Structure 1
Amino acid sequence: MRRSALILVACGIGLGGLAVDQLVKLASVAFLTPGVPVPIVGDLLQLQLIRNPGAAFGMGSSATIVFTILAMVATLACLFVVLPRVTRMWQAVVAGLFLAGITGNLVDRIFQPPAALHGHVIDMFSLRGFAIFNVADICITVAAGIVIGWSLFADRAEAKARKAAAR
């Protein structure tokens, strides 16, 4: 597949993921009441609106501006370092998912209260005993999972291909 087509795939996934993330956040703010969980799968998975000033698991709640700057740098790195190097479909999917996740939370940090660049990220999916997260977080986690999976199994696939070619 041509690199330009792969970049379009990545950008499409990035923009689509960003749109879904922001729509879910808008609906959550409009229809959920903070502190009032709504069961989806009993108490295992619930909708619960929170505004997170920090990173995963609420860590770094006093460093919101740092996370905003890191997200800006990560977005620029994805656009200007990663995307030009995409050569395979799985790389385009990963880049798109990372872009969706990073920009989804970055939009919150820029535009949500309490202030520009200090905004709190809107989270709404509560998994009992784990964390409260959003669509952007899911995109980042899936992208990381693909990278880990690819790194674990790519060597096996390449070894099989070399073995088959040697026959």
Structure 2
Amino acid sequence: MSDDREDRTPDPDPAVPEPAVPEPTAPEPDDPVRPAGSAVSVTPRRMTLLLFGIAVVVFALDLVTKIAAVAFIDPRNPVELIGDTVTLTLIRNPGAAFSMATGMTWLLTLVAVGVVIGVVRIGRTLSSRWWALGLGLVLGGALGNLVDRIFRSPGPLQGHVVDFVSVGWWPVFNVADSSIVCGAILLVALTLFGIEPSGGTTSRKGDAA
């Protein structure tokens, strides 16, 4: 009888909790460890996509409106929208935006090509949404008018741009012209306020903030 009592193990005291054993945790496959600098490289890629997305929208809108203007507007019979103040007047412009430099079509074509190349190169390093918006507007407008200069009569590099919007005394323009002007104004404003393409800001003394 004494041996049986000695062989029995005492029951654990229910009032004393057992120590918790931590469970081994495995690394989550959906959250890998990012290498240093990888978070910075994502932003320029997104800003580049935003830039090209805006440019595509502007280019498509410009192309569609020009096709519609050529098809439905008689150059001899402008369409009045708001009396004589706002009309749809179809003209063929050999010059730059707002009918400037009409005798330098080939040079303007080369300038447009340079603008497109420059915007694409700058857009690959952008980290600012505002700069992406401004450059996207400029790129879309430049491509819209460049297509006219290459594919419309009288020939390649000499093509006349289709303009059709007339507002008061302002020269006749199109969607591409207005997009270029708005984008350029935005870029100038960003420069004046010290907002850099990288997303940082520069104080008046030239120190990066």
TM class by smaller structure: 0.7 to 0.9
In 2, the alpha carbon distance for the partners of 1:47 and 1:36 equals: 9
Please report the TM-score for the alignment, with normalisation by the length of structure 1: 0.87
Q: What SS is found at the alignment partner of 1:115?
A: coil
- List alignment gaps of at least 5 residues for structure 2: 1-41, 196-200, 204-209
CA shift, 1:112, in A, is 0.6
Tell me how far 1:145 sits from its aligned partner: 1.9
Q: In structure 1, list runs of 5 or more residues that go unmatched.
A: 160-167
Contact 2:99-2:172 within 8 A present in 1 as well: no
Residue 101 of structure 1 and its aligned partner are, at CA, apart by: 0.7
Tell me the SS of whatever aligns to 2:153.
Answer: coil
Return the structure number with greater strand share. 1
Structure ranking higher on relative contact order (CA contacts 8 Å, 6+ apart): 1
Quick one: distance in 2 between partners of 1:86 and 1:48? 38
Q: How does 1:94-133 map to 2 (within 5 A)?
A: 94-133=134-173
1:137 aligns with 2:177: yes
Number of corresponding residues: 158
Q: After TM superposition, what 4+ stretches of structure 1 lie above 3 angstroms from structure 2? A: 151-155
- TM superposition score normalised by structure 2: 0.70
CA–CA separation in structure 2 for the residues paired with 1:153 and 1:67: 30
Using the TM superposition, give the Cα deviation of residue 62 of structure 1 relative to its aligned residue in structure 2, in angstroms. 2.0
Is 1:85 aligned with 2:125?
Answer: yes
Structure whose alpha-carbon radius of gyration is higher? 2
Query: Once the 2 structures are TM-superposed, how far is the Cα of residue 57 of structure 1 from its aligned partner?
Result: 3.8
Rounded Cα–Cα distance in structure 2 between residues aligned with 1:48 and 1:34: 6
CA RMSD of aligned residues (A): 1.9
